[in-house]
Amino acid sequence: MVKPKFKYQKQIDELLAKGCQLPELFAPNNMAACRFVFSQEGHQNHIPQYMSNPKRMLQDINKGTANTSLLALSCFTTSEKAETFYANLRKAFKNVFTSIGDSLSEGKLTNEEGLKTSTSGNGHFDLYEYESCDLNKSFVITKHLIEKDDEKD
Amino acid sequence: MMRKIEGYDIQYDFSGFKKIADLIFFEGPFLSHYISDKGDDYLFYWVDKDETDNRWLVLRVSLANLQKYIAKELTLLQLIESPNDGYLYTVDVDNDVNYHNVKLVQPSALPGDYLPEADSYYEFEPIATEDAGELMTYELTIPYNERNRFEELLNKIGFPVSALKKVVSRAAVF
């Protein structure tokens, strides 16, 4: 059986060649998961940091701080854990929704969509997507995380 | 376009600052601990962004207060409202990591959405940079007759004396 390629295999290979390492990865086995997204129509969601800002990857390579994690998607195991994390972030940064999103999206992760890292105590893990993965099709927005009054003009 | 901040336009060179740790990180740094070329401790606190820039507040803090924040004895709001110098800087950083629009600002001039909540206790895990150990290592020579006074001082600021025991013991021999 041919091993599936990651969606951003070229970039991952580039980081591996620079000495970065992939963490230990596991099959998600159809697990439920959620992610922060932007509810605004037309916003491109489910894009890893280095892909939405390729300059950042180059800068991190030059600084010696590049990390394959930024070619993966941040996920949480449960909506409760995601909301707790979001609430703690918002206490510290009232405008955080402009950076990481204003809504929670939920779905299931099949073994055809990619591999996940181990889950940390706060429920967070990274999803390294396979080529065919498109969470825009399988994840749906289930909750708005900020009050309408808090949104910026 | 980000909002205009009341403050004094100044030139300030942040190039000598070295990152010690990201204190809050989610898909990127939100709160980071830096040390200046003079050895002072600074916080870079993210507050805003637009299409081209991220805006940060930069403030000098004491290591003791930083440790109290990590230990949940102080809130982030308390740190931001009481910077060591009485003022802080705002700086916009573009996608090419150019620092510009540096202003000297009074904490009281900051808009509400640039301030943490009153209960902004630390609920995260710090991520130290690889060279943090080297940057944060101090060599101390404590005269033997000052050893007790030094330990009292460490206790007073809440620093675990046991962490320095080896160094203190060795210093006492000299």
Per residue in B10-49, pLDDT tens?
999 988 899 999 999 999 999 999 999 988 999 999 999 9
B169 in the same domain as B87: no
- Does residue B67 sit within a domain? yes
Minimal C-alpha gap between B165 and chain A (Å): 32
Q: Are A67 and A147 in contact (CB under 8 A)?
A: no
DSSP B86-134: S-EEEEEEETT--EEEEEEE-GGGS-GGGS--TT----S--EE-TTHHH
Angstrom distance (rounded) from CA A122 to CA B24: 13
Residue B174: predicted pLDDT: 31
Q: What is the token pair recorded at A85?
A: 């994390």
| pTM (2 d.p.) | 0.86
- Does residue B27 sit within a domain? yes
Residue A2: predicted pLDDT: 78
Question: In three state form, how does the secondary structure of A94-134 look?
Answer: CCCHHHHCCEEEEEEECCCCEEECCCCCCCEEEEEEECCCC
Angstrom distance (rounded) from CA B24 to CA B3: 24
- Does residue B154 sit within a domain? yes
Q: Is a pLDDT exceeding 70 seen at residue B171?
A: no
Domain edge (last residue) among B129, B146, B161: B129
- Does residue B3 sit within a domain? no
B20 in the same domain as B82: yes
Which whole-number Å values give the CA distances from B17 to A22, B21, B42, B105, in the listed order? 29, 12, 9, 20
Angstrom distance (rounded) from CA B29 to CA A67: 13
* pLDDT band with cut points at 50, 70 and 90 for residue A13: very high
Residue A17: predicted pLDDT: 97
For residue B130, list chain A residues with Cβ-Cβ distance below 8 A. Answer: 64
Reported as a single tens digit per residue, the pLDDT across B92-109 is 999 888 999 999 999 999
- Does residue B45 sit within a domain? yes
B103 in the same domain as B45: yes
Q: In chain A, whose CA is at the least distance from the CA of B29?
A: A99
Q: What is the token pair recorded at A43?
A: 């916003």
- Does residue B2 sit within a domain? no
Residue B148: predicted pLDDT: 81
- Strand arrangement, sheet containing A31-37: A114-116, A124-129, A73-76, A31-37, A103-109, A140-144
Reported as a single tens digit per residue, the pLDDT across A46-101 is 999 999 999 999 999 998 899 999 999 999 999 999 999 999 999 999 999 999 99
Residue of A49, A88, A94 lying closest to B113 (CB–CB): A94
Give me the residue label for tokens 């050893």. B147
Q: Using CB atoms and an 8 Å cut-off, which of residues 104-123 of chain B contact chain A?
A: 112-117, 119-120, 123
For residue B113, list chain A residues with Cβ-Cβ distance below 8 A. Answer: 94-95, 152
B167 in the same domain as B123: no
CA angle A124, A125, A131 (to 5 degrees): 145
B125 in the same domain as B103: yes
Which of B27, B43, B113 is best to mutate for the A interface (most A CBs within 10 A)?
B27
Structurally, chain B folds into a number of domains equal to 2
- Does residue B1 sit within a domain? no
Residue A136: predicted pLDDT: 96
B144 in the same domain as B115: no
Q: What are phi and psi of B126, to 5 degrees?
A: -70, 150
Average pLDDT rounded to a whole number, residues B108-130: 93
Residue B118: predicted pLDDT: 97
B123 in the same domain as B143: no
Q: Is B99 on the interface with A (CB under 8 A)?
A: no
B147 in the same domain as B125: no
Minimal C-alpha gap between A105 and chain B (Å): 17
Complex-level ipTM: 0.93
A74 and B117: CB-CB below 8 Å?
no
Q: Is a pLDDT exceeding 50 seen at residue B173?
A: no
Print the domain residue range for B159. 138-173
Reported as a single tens digit per residue, the pLDDT across A92-138 is 999 999 999 999 999 999 999 999 999 999 999 999 999 999 999 99
Q: Is a pLDDT exceeding 50 seen at residue B168?
A: no
Please state whether beta strands B99-105 and B8-9 pair in parallel, antiparallel, or not at all (unpaired): antiparallel
**Distance from first CA to last CA of chain A, Å, rounded?**
52
B83 in the same domain as B19: yes
* pLDDT band with cut points at 50, 70 and 90 for residue A152: low
Q: Is a pLDDT exceeding 70 seen at residue B167?
A: no
Minimal C-alpha gap between B118 and chain A (Å): 8
Angstrom distance (rounded) from CA A74 to CA A54: 17
B124 in the same domain as B143: no
User: Which residues lie across from B43 on neighbouring strands?
Assistant: B33, B59
Q: Are A89 and A99 in contact (CB under 8 A)?
A: no
For residue B97, list chain A residues with Cβ-Cβ distance below 8 A. Answer: 59
B92 in the same domain as B160: no
For residue A70, list chain B residues with Cβ-Cβ distance below 8 A. Answer: 27-28
Mean pLDDT score across all residues of chain B: 87
Q: Are A39 and A144 in contact (CB under 8 A)?
A: yes
Short-list B148, B170, B147, B151, CA closest to B161: B151
Which of A91, A119, A150 is best to mutate for the B interface (most B CBs within 10 A)?
A91
Reported as a single tens digit per residue, the pLDDT across B123-159 is 999 888 877 666 665 556 777 788 788 888 888 877 7
